[in-house]
Amino acid sequence: MGESLGIGLLGLGVVGRGVLEALQSNAQAYQARCGRQLEIRAAAVRNVAARADLESSGLAISDDPMGISTRDDVDIVVELMGGEEPAADCIEAALSAGKSVVTANKEVMAKRGPTLLDLAEARAAELRYEASVGGGIPIIGVLQRDLQANDVSSIRAIINGTTNYMITAMSRDGMSYDDALAEAQRLGYAEADPTSDVDGIDAAYKLAILASLAFHSQVGPGDVHRDGIRTLTARDFAHARDLGYTIRMLATARQTPMGLDLRVHPTLVPTEDPMAGVEGVLNAVAVSGDLIGSVVLEGPGAGAGATSSAVVADILEVAGRLASRQSARPLPPIDQSPVFASLADICVRTYLRLEVPDRAGVLAELGAVFAAEGVSIASVLQTPHPEQSQSADLIVTTHACSDGAIDRVLDRLQRSDSVIELGVRLRIEDGCDND
């Protein structure tokens, strides 16, 4: 079947070890599928001494990822280090040397993907990144190939397993935010520093990648509005349930007449919505197009098995092309300067939890503020505050209006004597469509 192809692994963490074990244990099957023997020539790790067991098996171990990225006997570089640096520089060096790259790095692809993809095309190399979004869900390939005939109008996704696990625990088990986070950390779903997950940074990286592909536009994480889940309480989930909704950390990308609307934030979705049933660490992506209608992909969004599966699949596809000497598919034209809609102009329904004094006249005073900004109230629910006997929780939902109008309402409420605290603001999925 011809000479072997050399692989260099950058990173041997949970996913890296999974990829290594898959390539070693399934070597014969993979050789038959791609037409070449795949040989792991070297691996880069932070602590060489801690990987002495791998050196004894004949695998060259190094703490120099850049050196492995440019080795003459490496044909495919597999980057699994995470983070922007030195990963991005290693990917760039490998592509510049004409080597193909497989990565699971959402941060690099979100921030520098278009530049690196252009470099790969210029050097007749490939850059594959299926594992950067959705773990075992093959959404990148679906957008690149299967839905190319479609004019994609929107993407709705749950693409962070950590926050989805925490939200499920808060909704189903009544946990507080702190308890849900501690449980996620105990189970290994959340890092010691959970900022990237709970503040929506991770999901914003992934949505930028999906939007770039779906809309053939250069989208970066800075173009995505994001809110995190730190302000959510178990009682918000109870109130949402009473209103016929559940809360999900939803990533949304849509084409609107005002431009691309890109958002990651906790969202009230109707209980009958498919996204409402996505629980635990599962991910789901729904894509709407003019020909396909709507298609939903759901599966494990993280973990060694799911991510390793996506990485190895990319390796095999690249290896197959190299073995058959097929050239990579040309990149479609990309809009370098897309128009982005201002969030203030986006039309939404809104859920507000306000802490107010438990006295007569408060509802009238607050109603006047909403009316002054042209915001129509859909429902009001007042419940005793769980800790303060002299105050109450006021749950307000609005009819569809501009997000900027809600900003102005909240600004006025902040200065009002009738509001003790602005507890939480959540957008509701079934607002107007901005079309």
Over residues 399-424, mean pLDDT? 91
Encoding tokens for residue 270? 């109707």
**Residue 237 has what pLDDT?**
95
Reported as a single tens digit per residue, the pLDDT across 264-297 is 999 999 999 999 999 998 999 999 999 999 999 9
Reported as a single tens digit per residue, the pLDDT across 77-100 is 999 999 999 999 999 999 999 999
3 state DSSP class of 261: strand
Reported as a single tens digit per residue, the pLDDT across 61-75 is 899 999 999 999 999
Contact by Cβ (8 Å): 228, 254 = no
* Listed residue (306, 307, 328, 309) closest to 319, CA to CA: 328
Over residues 339-367, mean pLDDT? 91
With a pLDDT cut of 70, the percent of the chain lying above it is 96
The per-residue b/e assignment along 139-149, b for 16 or more CB within 10 angstroms, e otherwise, is: bbbbbbeebee
> How many whole angstroms separate alpha carbon 246 and alpha carbon 168?
10
* In the block, residue with structure tokens 């034209």: 333
Rg (CA), the chain: 24
DSSP string, 63-98: S-HHHHHT-TT-SEEEE---SSTTHHHHHHHHHHTT
3 state DSSP class of 244: coil
Beta strands 76-79 and 5-10: pairing type?
parallel
> How many whole angstroms separate alpha carbon 36 and alpha carbon 1?
6
Residue 50 pLDDT > 80:
no
**Residue 55 has what pLDDT?**
62
* Listed residue (63, 60, 86) closest to 7, CA to CA: 60
Over residues 238-259, mean pLDDT? 95
Dihedral through CA 268, CA 272, CA 275, CA 281, nearest 10? 100
Reported as a single tens digit per residue, the pLDDT across 128-157 is 999 999 887 899 999 998 898 999 999 999
**Residue 324 has what pLDDT?**
82
Residue 330 pLDDT > 80:
no
Instruction: Identify the active-site residue in 99, 106, 111, 206.
Output: 206
User: Backbone dihedral region of 247: left (phi > 0), alpha (psi from -120 to 50 degrees) or beta?
Assistant: beta
Question: Using 50, 70 and 90 to split pLDDT, how confident is the model at 363?
Answer: confident
Contact by Cβ (8 Å): 254, 260 = yes
Question: Using 50, 70 and 90 to split pLDDT, how confident is the model at 432?
Answer: very low
Over residues 329-358, mean pLDDT? 90
What is the set of domains in the chain, with CATH numbers?
5-135+304-324 (3.40.50.720), 139-300 (3.30.360.10), 344-428 (3.30.70.260)
> How many whole angstroms separate alpha carbon 16 and alpha carbon 19?
5
> How many whole angstroms separate alpha carbon 423 and alpha carbon 421?
6
* Listed residue (217, 336, 200) closest to 263, CA to CA: 200
DSSP string, 110-157: HHHHHHHHHHHHHTT--EE-GGGSSTT--HHHIIIIITTTS-EEEEEE
Q: Where are the beta strands (DSSP E) in 257-372?
A: 259-270, 282-289, 293-300, 347-357
> How many whole angstroms separate alpha carbon 40 and alpha carbon 22?
11
User: Catalytic site residue 106?
Assistant: no
* Listed residue (60, 13, 111, 64) closest to 308, CA to CA: 13
